[in-house]
Structure 1
Amino acid sequence: MKFLKALILALLVAMIALPAAAADIELAKKSTISEVLKRGELRVGFDAGYPPFEMTDKNGKYIGFDVDLGKELAKAMGVKFVPVNTDFDGMVPSLLADKFDIIISGMTLTQERNLKIGFSDPYIIMGQTVLVNAKHKGKITSYKQLNDPKFIVISRMGTTGEEATKRYIPKATYKSFEKEVDCALEVINGRADAFVYDLPVNEVFQKQQGKDKTFLLNEPFTFEPMAIGLKQGDPDFLNFLNNFLRQIKNDGRYERMYDKWLRSDEWQSQVK
């Protein structure tokens, strides 16, 4: 009798497990991994106006930290790397519309974005800094001092720089532009007092064009983890991405990319 009960219980467990296993198989088939391997290409979305993460060199080729990261990921999957240059404002909608497979574009993992798409573990931690017109040198030493309507503070539309400005400097007169370079030029040419944006970008503008026209408050006042964006409901691809990031951070590849693009400025000669 006990044997019969055990047999019936085992059969019931098997009957329950079979649909679950079938569902797992179907989920795996729908994963981006399957689509990428079948296509033989990894389509990576980014906005080529965010040095040193993604930009265009003198020969019209895409280069930068994120571009190298995408190439390493494609190599790990055994497929061709296909860059898809897309305006940052349309990045999430384009991913959801299957214009590309993932986003590697210096995108900050925010809760608002995370409601729409999934994210890998962070691959780098950044924060907002302030590029200030030289006329304020010695007077402005903190972003908090810009919290006044008399100051024109700008950032790029639809970015965490814009969010940080509105949140931490709400009283300032805010203006937005579609490209980082336009924001920086407003400050460099004295038409705005400050540009709130990610540290690496502001460092590039300060070195290349700011010089004696601007100065940089280079202590980040926000915490911003940048991560790879992917469609929700794809645990297999998320697992692959996180394991990929762990691997390159421990085998020397990540460190070499970091040194090349973030600790050195030799790359600047390729884009001038």
Structure 2
Amino acid sequence: MGSSSNFSKGKFFRNLYAITKDTILRYPEMSFVGVVIRIKNVVGANPTKSQLFILFLVLCNINGSSSAEEDTFKFYNSSRLREILEKGELRVAGDSASEPFYVVNAKEGYPGFDYELGKAYADFLGVKYRFVPYQEFNEFADAIKNEEADIALSGISSNLERSKKVRFSKAYLIATPAALVRKSALPPPPEGNIITTQNFKSILDLADVSGVTFAVRSFSNRHEYLLKKFKNSRIFTYGDTLSAWEAVKSGTANCLVADSFYIKGLLLKDKSIASNFRPLLELVQREDISAAFPRGDLVFIRNFEFFLEELGRSGTLRELEDKYFNKSDWVPIERP
């Protein structure tokens, strides 16, 4: 997969576990003195990161009562996160072919958006990172349930049906159903108008265009969107988005429908695509790209979301998005 960049080693991580005046002010309702005494009794003189994490839990959740304190420790002891910290390893499931979330034959420092995010989270926890390859969401969910993986990061769109199998974090990226349509399938401009793609900015702009045929990954959020918005159009479904794209390139369909980040990745990887295809990327329906976790493990999810909040606050998450979805430096060099 290639080695991780310096993204996970930035200054953001230096004071993550420090108890400062600012930290205290963020949790004004806590009974701080009682918490410190309790933690001191637990961790002794040389606290480890896992023990400091318990302190983090208490700071986030306690309201000053002993029952709330006991609940905090009970939730931690039953969390998958406790096992991860004890084993010293975070196992992250993902699809290695889902570029640029993961990059095959990656250049040094460009292993993929979700690879870097997962590695950064492992560094935050102070444990080793291990990538566990799977291809489908159901495989991610089964791996998490069977404790073959701890979380899944793979450009996953959350929805109600999927939430029956895993617990989703807050979104770390916001996508939309998007399209890559052959320019030859679009109507010609009015006579005298030199702008050939004048009003085609979102997939909804194809609603009144006849002859558009869609290729999409089956049972995805985009498939559901097409069935709702383009019920009278011809829709070809495939087991994965790459197969749908191959169908469009071969002429079986003339419009690929995927999430906006996938299409951005295609355009960055092969700039010649833009000569024959029109990208339609404007927002039509919010799609949350989220991490998948074991169901019911609120402690684990809250810890990850705190990590995400810090990435967002520091601007690191935005920098990572720009690195993979607005620039093409990650594109592997083709070897003869």
TM-score, shorter chain, exceeding 0.5 = yes
Say yes or no: does 1:103 pair with 2:166.
no
Give the equivalent residue in structure 1 for 2:116: 68
Say yes or no: does 1:165 pair with 2:226.
yes
Give the equivalent residue in structure 2 for 1:143: 203
The CA distance in 2 between the partners of 1:46 and 1:189, in whole Å, is 28
What amino acid sits opposite 1:94 in the alignment? A
Asked if the contact 1:49–1:179 (Cα under 8 Å) also holds between the matched residues in 2, the reply is no
The CA distance in 2 between the partners of 1:271 and 1:162, in whole Å, is 32
Shift of 1:57: 1.9
Q: 1:216 to 1:100 in 2, by over 3 A?
A: same
Aligned Cα root-mean-square deviation (Å): 2.8
SS of the residue aligned with 1:48?
A: coil
The CA distance in 2 between the partners of 1:248 and 1:116, in whole Å, is 27
Q: Which moved more, 1:19-28 or 1:258-267?
A: 19-28
1:210 pairs with one of 273, 291, 294: 273
Give the equivalent residue in structure 2 for 1:193: 254
Q: 1:188 to 1:37 in 2, by over 3 A?
A: same
The CA distance in 2 between the partners of 1:206 and 1:260, in whole Å, is 14
Asked if the contact 2:180–2:279 (Cα under 8 Å) also holds between the matched residues in 1, the reply is yes
Shift of 1:232: 1.6
Question: What does 1:120-269 align with in structure 2 at a 5 Å threshold?
Answer: 120-138=169-187, 141=200, 143-144=203-204, 145=206, 151-207=212-268, 208=270, 210-269=273-332
Give the equivalent residue in structure 1 for 2:23: none
Give the equivalent residue in structure 1 for 2:5: none
SS of the residue aligned with 2:324?
A: helix
TM score, norm. by length of structure 2? 0.68
1:112 pairs with one of 161, 174, 185: 161
The CA distance in 2 between the partners of 1:35 and 1:53, in whole Å, is 26
Shift of 1:76: 0.2
Aligned length: 256
Asked if the contact 2:186–2:209 (Cα under 8 Å) also holds between the matched residues in 1, the reply is no
What amino acid sits opposite 1:107 in the alignment? I
The CA distance in 2 between the partners of 1:53 and 1:232, in whole Å, is 24
Shift of 1:26: 3.7
Shift of 1:259: 2.2
State the Cα deviation string for residues 21-45 of structure 1 (Å, max 9, x = none): 6665343212011111121110011
Shift of 1:271: 6.8
Shift of 1:20: 7.7
Asked if the contact 1:42–1:82 (Cα under 8 Å) also holds between the matched residues in 2, the reply is yes
What amino acid sits opposite 1:197 in the alignment? A
The CA distance in 2 between the partners of 1:149 and 1:170, in whole Å, is 13
Asked if the contact 2:157–2:288 (Cα under 8 Å) also holds between the matched residues in 1, the reply is yes
The CA distance in 2 between the partners of 1:174 and 1:83, in whole Å, is 34
SS of the residue aligned with 1:63?
A: coil
What amino acid sits opposite 1:253 in the alignment? T
What stretches of structure 2 of length at least 5 have no aligned partner?
1-64, 189-196
Shift of 1:59: 7.6
What stretches of structure 1 of length at least 5 have no aligned partner?
1-16
